[in-house]
Each structure stands twice: as structure tokens, then as C-alpha cells.
Amino acid sequence: MRRSVLDTGLRARASACVGSSLIEVMLAVALIAITTLGLIAAQVWTAREARAMALRENATWLADSIAEAASTSSMGELALNQWSARARAALPHAEVSIGESGAVATARVTWAFVQDRPAAGHVIDKPESCGGIDAPAGSSCVALAFAK
């Protein structure tokens, strides 16, 4: 008799716990999925920022080379066209220009981020000034001042 009472009590407790471990597993899987999505998003952001920094570094080297060439000699239109061709080869939609103001000149390299371009009329952030000129939306700019 005593054994049947124990069996009945165990069965009652076991039937009360049915499904609770399944809910715990479901919560654990959901937590792992959300964490994994967060890690993937962080990796994508890091890769995008690394590409942006590589483009900025290339633009800085180009601006430095242009400033060096312009400060040592009288750089003509032909030389500026050559630097523009090199910039277009290294950067997407690149433009090169030199602005002069007295004894100080500015070498500017502007390029566009094709994948990050906002839709027409949809500006998220106002672009920063680039050596006295405004860079168009969806583009980045490096300006390097030098003495002529």
C-alpha cells in the first residue's frame, strides 16, 4: 500500500513538470540565436569600417602625393589629369582638385561610397566641409593644406 502511494505522488509531480525543460531549451536556443545575430552584425560593421579606413588611407596617400608634386614644381593640367586617373583607379568615383588661396594650397581627393549612398533627397548626415568646399552627400573627402 505504501508503495502505491509513493508511485502516485511521483507521477503527480512528474506530470506537473512535463514541458518545463522544453521551454528552457527553447529559451536557450532563442538566446543563442539573438547573440549570434549580434555577433554577425558586429562583424559586418567591422568589415565595412575597415574598408572605409582603407579607402581613406588611399585618399590620404594620394592627397599627400599631389601636394608633394604641386609644391616642388608648377603642376600643370596634364599632371593633375594623371593624378585624377590614379585616384579613379584606387577609389570609387574619385575626383582630385587643387585649391589655391595665396601662398597656401589645398589638395583635395573626393570619392563616393556606392553601397552607402542615400536615396535622392534623403540625407542622413550632413557631410563635413572639405577644405572650404562642401562634399556632396554620399561621399567622403580628404583635404591636405600645403605651402606653395
Domain coordinates in residue numbering, the chain: 2-147
* In the predicted structure, residue 46 carries a pLDDT above the cut 90: yes
* In the predicted structure, residue 15 carries a pLDDT above the cut 90: no
Q: Give alpha helix (H) positions in the chain.
A: 2-17, 20-72, 77-90
* In the predicted structure, residue 118 carries a pLDDT above the cut 60: no
For residue 140, the model assigns a pLDDT of 85
* In the predicted structure, residue 128 carries a pLDDT above the cut 70: no
* In the predicted structure, residue 112 carries a pLDDT above the cut 90: no
Q: Within 13 Å of residue 105, how many CA atoms lie on the same side as its CB?
A: 19
Report yes or no: 108 and 142 within 8 Å, Cβ to Cβ. yes
pTM: 0.67
DSSP 22-43: HHHHHHHHHHHHHHHHHHHHHH
Provide the pairing of β-strand 133-134 with 104-112: unpaired
* In the predicted structure, residue 74 carries a pLDDT above the cut 60: yes
* In the predicted structure, residue 114 carries a pLDDT above the cut 60: no
**Which grid coordinates belong to 147?**
605651402
- Dihedral (Cα; 114, 116, 117, 121), 10-degree rounding: 170
* In the predicted structure, residue 11 carries a pLDDT above the cut 80: no
Average pLDDT of every residue of the chain: 79
| Closest CA relative to residue 70, chosen from 19, 88, 137, 78 | 78
